[in-house]
Amino acid sequence: MYTQRTGHRPSSWFNSRPGLQSQGVMTAIKIARATAWLLVFAAVFLTLAPRSFRPITGVEHHLEHFLAFAFLGLVFATGYPNRRLVLAIVGIAMAALLEIFQSWAPGRHANISDFAVNAIGMCVGVAFVAVVDRMRRAIRYTKTLRRAPAPRLVSASADSAAAAARPLHPPRAHR
């Protein structure tokens, strides 16, 4: 059966790619990707803009950085599920570049502790998504094992008794 609009069989593309079987998963990934890139632009702006543009949250400075970059890593890892190691490396590089660029922004200063907190936050966000995904897959795997029929176990003694009762060759008819 082919669809009228595309001329292709429905869902054949999704069924050939594990993990992308439902349209809802693709939509969630697209939303996460768009959100992640918007958060990058917000992080760049808030990092390089004058302090007067930064919101006052009342949270300690390093905790604020950690939470912001952990959230950024979490959203990126959700949007790019097969690129987690690359995301962690790029996140560390981005944190370093932002701190370097801050030294050229008027009224801002680069700080190695800010870089460390930002990089650790990004890696923690990516790692959190990886752990949750691993747990989700393990749970799904155990559920499929429960649904599978149990293998039929035959004891060796029952097998040998049945084999001893059987003749080696079927009897031949005499002429």
pLDDT digits (tens, 9 = 90+) for 104-158: 888 788 889 999 999 999 999 999 999 999 999 998 888 777 776 666 665 555 5
The domain segmentation of the chain, as residue ranges, is 32-148
Contact 70, 122 (CB under 8 A): yes
Tokens of 80: 């790019």
pTM (2 d.p.): 0.67
Tokens of 117: 């907190």
Tokens of 31: 């939303």
| Residue range 23-35, pLDDT digits in tens | 677 788 999 999 9
pLDDT of residue 56: 82
Inter-helix orientation angle 112-147/84-102, to 10°: 160
Q: Give CA–CA dist 136/13, Å, rounded.
A: 23
